[in-house]
């Protein structure tokens, strides 16, 4: 009897083990189905109200350091990754050539000013000569009037002596003297008239010279203005020998050494402006249907995975990223393959006082979630 009882219990245990295992499997399967359904519904609901992409990076304004004049580098005053403020001296160029050009321009200006003084003195002298010449004309006119009176008097004497000589009332000598006086007076009048013509011509010549010297004053004044501009330009170029920071920020790698020859317009290094950073996210064109400016955005930065940043969608790019490429695609070439394009979107942070926002650097990878 005892043996039968043990066999019965053993059979019951063997029959009960599979039943317990089947219940566990069903429970686990049900939990997986419920969890998967919940996860799928959650993702579906999230996808209906959100657009996400990890094709995004931190951006900031970058100011290149470009010298306005060429020359040899005399001194470099910044190092890699150094914080600088607007107006700080970054490097100094050898300015000896520029200083010589300034001295040359100043000497040319002094010469032009001397030429102006000489032209003014010549003009004043010409005006004095005109006054003297005009006075000479007046003197000759007075002499001509006196000569005319003398001619009239001697002519009257000659006419009287001509009548008297016929009656032999006077001697032949007296008549010849009257005739000689008349001819002398007429010749004197002719000489004075010729002198007046010469003096008038001289007066006109002096007046023309005065006009010419007056025009030289205008020319000298214009030359002075030109030389003043050259002096100002030389001073400006001399000031460019000191290269200063145009904005505040962080200095990139300094690729310049003392003694190096740099050219005008050559990019030496850059300053990353620290006053503002933003995000540029490249969304697929199929994601743009419900995206609008002003929507809330959650930004996850790879460098700070546990700190979500609040931001706002502020603008859309006027064209897709491929249109700004060096070789944009041309679909009219005949080898058309449809590729989903991406459109850059600018996203700005809401809290710029956040200490972690100030730690963000251009080029950092981020993931953005736009709340539709």
Residues 7-55: tens digit of each pLDDT: 545 554 445 445 555 778 788 888 888 888 777 776 666 667 788 899 9
Q: Is the domain of 233 the same as that of 245?
A: no
What are the structure tokens assigned to 92, written together? 């100094």
Name the nearest CA neighbour of 224 among 121, 98, 106, 122.
106
Tell me: do 78 and 106 sit in the same domain: no
**Structural domain containing residue 258:** 71-93+241-262
Question: Within 13 Å of residue 123, how many CA atoms lie on the same side as its CB?
Answer: 15
Within-domain flag for 34: no
Q: For residue 94, give the nearest of 243, 246, 245, 244 by alpha carbon.
A: 243
pLDDT for residue 215: 67
Q: Considering the domain boundaries, does residue 365 fall inside one?
A: yes
Q: Are residues 163 and 223 in the same domain?
A: yes
Task: Give pLDDT tens digits for 139-172.
Answer: 767 777 777 777 787 777 777 777 777 777 777 7
- State whether 120 and 224 are in the same domain: yes
Q: Is the pLDDT of residue 74 over 90?
A: yes
Q: Which of 17-31, 254-268, 358-372 has the lowest mean pLDDT?
A: 17-31
Structure-block tokens of residue 1: 């009897």
| Residues 87 and 188 occupy one common structural domain | no
Report d(CA 128, CA 25) in Å as an integer.
128
- 158: domain CATH number is 1.10.287
308 and 180 share a domain? no
How far apart CA 97 and CA 238 sit, in angstroms, is: 9
Q: What would the mean pLDDT of 117-135 be, rounded to a whole number?
A: 67
Cβ atoms of 115 and 284 closer than 8 Å? no
Verify that 185 and 253 share a domain, yes or no: no
**Tokens linked to 201:** 């011509």
> Is residue 27 a part of any domain in this protein?
no
Residue 112 within a domain: yes
Whether 104 and 190 share a structural domain: yes
Q: Is residue 26 in some structural domain? A: no
Look at strands 242-244 and 89-93 and give their pairing.
Answer: antiparallel
Asked if the structure places residue 156 within a domain, the reply is yes
Asked if residue 115 and residue 86 are part of one domain, the reply reads: no
> Based on the domain organization, do 319 and 351 belong to the same domain?
yes
**Residues 361 and 311 reside in one and the same domain:** yes
Identify whether 163 is part of a domain. yes
48-52, 263-267, 335-339: segment of lowest average pLDDT: 335-339
Shared domain check, 135 and 57: no
pLDDT higher at 185 or 343: 343
The separation between CA 362 and the C-alpha centre of its own chain, rounded to angstroms, equals: 27
Q: Is-contact 101 234, C-beta < 8 A?
A: yes
Q: Backbone phi, then psi, for 288, in 5-degree steps?
A: -90, 0
What pLDDT shows up at residue 208? 65
Pairing type for strands 50-65 and 365-371 reads: antiparallel
Looking at the chain, how many residues does it have? 372
17 belongs to a structural domain: no
Strands of 71-76's sheet, edge to edge?
242-244, 89-93, 71-76, 261-262
Model confidence at 130: pLDDT above 80: no
| CATH code of the domain covering residue 256 | 2.40.50.100
For the domain that residue 55 is a member of, what is the CATH number? 2.40.30.170
* Mean pLDDT, the chain, whole residue set: 81
Number of domains the chain contains: 3
């Amino acid at each position: 009897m005892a043996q039968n009882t043990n066999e019965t219990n053993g059979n019951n245990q063997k029959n009960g083990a599979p039943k317990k295992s089947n219940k566990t499997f069903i429970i686990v399967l049900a939990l997986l189905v419920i969890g998967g359904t919940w996860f799928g519904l959650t993702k579906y609901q999230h996808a209906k109200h959100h657009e996400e992409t990890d094709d995004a990076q931190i951006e900031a304004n970058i100011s290149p350091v470009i010298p306005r004049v060429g020359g040899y580098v005399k001194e470099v005053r910044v190092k890699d990754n150094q914080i600088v403020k607007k107006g700080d001296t970054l490097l100094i160029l050898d300015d000896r050539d520029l200083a010589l050009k300034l001295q040359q321009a100043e000497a040319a200006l002094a010469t032009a000013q001397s030429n102006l003084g000489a032209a003014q003195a010549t003009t004043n002298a010409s005006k004095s000569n005109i006054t003297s010449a005009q006075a000479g004309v007046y003197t000759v006119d007075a002499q001509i009037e006196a000569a005319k009176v003398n001619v009239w008097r001697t002519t009257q004497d000659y006419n009287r002596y001509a009548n008297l000589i016929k009656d032999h009332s006077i001697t032949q000598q007296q008549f010849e003297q009257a005739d000689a006086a008349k001819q002398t007076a007429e010749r004197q009048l002719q000489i004075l008239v010729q002198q007046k013509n010469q003096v008038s011509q001289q007066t006109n010549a002096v007046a023309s010279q005065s006009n010419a010297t007056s025009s030289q004053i205008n020319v000298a004044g214009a030359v002075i203005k030109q030389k003043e501009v050259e002096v100002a330009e030389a001073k400006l170029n001399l000031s460019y020998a000191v290269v200063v920071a145009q904005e505040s920020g962080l200095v990139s790698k300094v690729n310049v050494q003392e003694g190096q020859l740099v050219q005008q317009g050559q990019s030496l290094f850059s300053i990353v402006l620290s006053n503002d950073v933003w995000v540029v996210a490249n969304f697929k064109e199929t994601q743009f249907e419900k995206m609008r400016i002003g929507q809330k955005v959650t930004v996850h930065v790879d460098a700070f995975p546990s700190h979500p940043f609040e931001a706002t969608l502020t603008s859309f790019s006027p064209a897709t990223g491929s249109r700004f490429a060096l070789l944009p695609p041309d679909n009219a070439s005949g080898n058309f393959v449809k590729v989903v394009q991406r459109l850059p979107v600018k996203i700005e942070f809401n809290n710029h006082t956040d200490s972690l926002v100030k730690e963000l650097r251009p080029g950092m990878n981020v993931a953005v979630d736009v709340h539709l």
